[in-house]
A and B are shown apart, each in its own frame.
Chain A
Amino acid sequence: MELFLNFLASGLVIGSIYGLIAIGFAVIFKTTGVLNFAQGEVMMLVAYVSWSLATELDLPLVLLIPLVVVAAAAIGALLERIFIRPMLGEPVFAIIMVTIGLAVTLRSVIVLIWGADAAAFDVPLKGGLIEIGPVVLFTEQLFAIVLFLVVALAIFLFFRFTRIGTAMRATAQDETTALLMGVDVKRISMLAWAIAAVVSGLAGIAFAMMISRAPDMWFLGLRAFPATILGGLDAPLGSGLGGLLIGVIGDLSEGYIGQGLKEISGFVVIIVILMVRPYGLFGQRELERV
């Protein structure tokens, strides 16, 4: 039992990271219909910028986090303005392709600025041990889980109760009608990118604190991709839960079966689930009319 709980906790930790990135994927997809292949790279960029902020300014976490949120939002909005906005109205495939180009570009830019070496992300929070019953976690690992819960709640409240959140949902449902109702659709796309950058950026920071900030972090984006499909691409919260599930299933199957199944188990689950629910666990069923 003790072992099981520890596997579970370990899976939740990495699952929280996947979940946060998956929320980033879903927010952009839900509002603009674009699958952002550069999500992992945006996450990495935010993590690197935060790392520089943290090491240069030596701020406590309470101040660092708000600063990072602002920086991440700016990064997301800026990327959208420069690379995505000019493509508005073009085929979705072309825009997806632009995000692939953006991904390649960002990867190189990061190494150009920060070099190829991995470095530790040290913040005052790091290094403490917390025991919850038989489960042992580092403070930064617990931080990742807490972060996930807070962000998920914030996203839920945002979309449900704020004016702009409602506007985003409206745009997702019917862009033209939203436009007619006075929603500034262009701003919505920028906002989606900003939110996605903040959410996935926080995941990047949590991950960098746990492992290190390194130029191959972008790969996490691809790992979180299945999570968002599992939860439903158009369901931010569902995608988040999908991340948790993928993390937990991975660690449990590694723990009890082994054979490198950690990576595969999530995919097997996805195939099985999509057979039953072809639109993801929490995705919306599309009604089609001819």
Chain B
Amino acid sequence: MRTGHYVESYEKQLALTTNPVTWAWTGALLLGLALFPLLVGNYLLSVAITVGIAAIGAIGLNLLTGITGLISLGQAGFLAAGCYTTALLVADYGWPPELALLAAGFVSALLSLVIGVPSLRLKGLYLAITTLAFSFIITHFLLYAEALTHGPYGVRVENLRFLGLDLTQLDQLFWLVLAVLVLTVLAALNLLRTRVGRAFTAIRDHDVAARVMGISLTRYKLAAFMVSSFVVGIAGGLMAFQFRFINVDLFNLLISIEALAMIIVGGLGSVAGSILGAVFIVLLPEAVRALTDLLPAALTEMLSTYVYEVRGLLTGLAIIVMLRIEPHGLIGLWRDAKRYWTHWPLSV
């Protein structure tokens, strides 16, 4: 049991964690996750893959919105850019999927400059709307640039071999997503402990004050845009592997709102919170559905025409209730629980 926390050197200050117990837990968790495909059927596995990809996307968005304080409603646009990049490079240009996935990140990051530069003066919801506008323009382009993107026909991706993995098999796709997620988490955590990460937070907390302290707003805001979009683009690229057939219907405004919901529900500015939020938002409809499946047969018979609305209703209410209990998101709930555990029996 840890009773306190003392940092005695800069090295320790910089380390991800100084506690061997944490490392052990993390290792056990990763091992458990890696074995996950052996335990469950295809459906749960595909849900888990969705969670993983959503978590990567949510981390990306959290870097921009939660950490740097730049609200984005353009998640769908960056996801679409990444997804189409990977899909088209693999399907039409015969790129190896490994490179195509990286390209998704770079294309998305470059695009973020296009939107980032003109958005530098904007704040809050006005920035949100330019990112929203951007995502509409992107999907419009994808739909109408038929020669490049197949337009309304959508893109089909086949023959996916990734570093020896056969991505048409769900378990192998799951491992890839898991690996990318772990890399993303590590990268994000490390970024946050550097000068760049602290600059991001300073901009969020007070941009004028940050500038006074010598942080170039232009440079760091653009950097936040690029880093975030790179990660989101990678998540989009993974979506191409997951669905193998993609079209613009995948990238509607609701995706952007859902992404925002993930980081709010999970906890703004927290990497672990992003993951928790993704888990919550993706699993919520599944949980509700499992719940309605448990209802007595007579009742479901009666509900047969409306069972989908009942599910929607419960999903909405669950979000509301969750926020009523813990307005700071799941990560707040987690911290409270941890504090209670650590200080027991003195905790209140």
Q: Which residues of A contact B (CB under 8 A)?
A: 35, 37, 83, 86-87, 90-91, 93-94, 96-98, 100-109, 111-112, 222, 225-226, 229, 233, 259-260, 263-264, 267-268, 270-271, 274-275, 278-280, 288, 290
Contact = CB atoms under 8 A, between A and B. Distances in A.
Contacts of B143: 260
B2 interface: no
Interface string B243-278: 000000000010001000100110010000000000
A37 B136 contact: no
A274 B316 contact: no
A105 B320 contact: yes
A263 B136 contact: yes
B265 A97 contact: yes
Interface stretch (B123-131, B187-195, B226-234): B123-131
Given A87-B324, A90-B327, 12 more contacts: A37-B257, A83-B320, A90-B323, A94-B264, A96-B264, A98-B324, A105-B312, A105-B317, A112-B313, A229-B126, A267-B133, A270-B129
A91 B121 contact: no
Contacts of B122: 274, 278
Contacts of A106: 316
Interface in B194-227: 206, 208-209, 212
B31 to A, nearest CB: 34
11 contacts: A93-B264, A94-B327, A97-B319, A105-B320, A108-B310, A112-B306, A267-B133, A268-B137, A270-B133, A271-B133, A278-B121
Interface residues of B, number: 43
Secondary structure type dominating chain B contacts: helix
B80 to A, nearest CB: 15
A102 B316 contact: yes
Interface of B: 118, 121-123, 125-126, 129-130, 132-134, 136-137, 140, 143-144, 206, 208-209, 212, 253, 257, 261, 264-265, 268, 306, 309-313, 315-320, 323-324, 327-329
B313 A263 contact: no
Contacts of B329: 94
Nearest to B65: A93
Given A105-B312, A267-B133, A100 B319 contact: yes
Contact of A226 (B129, B144, B309, B313): B129
Most central of A91, A94, A264 by chain B CB within 10 Å:
A94
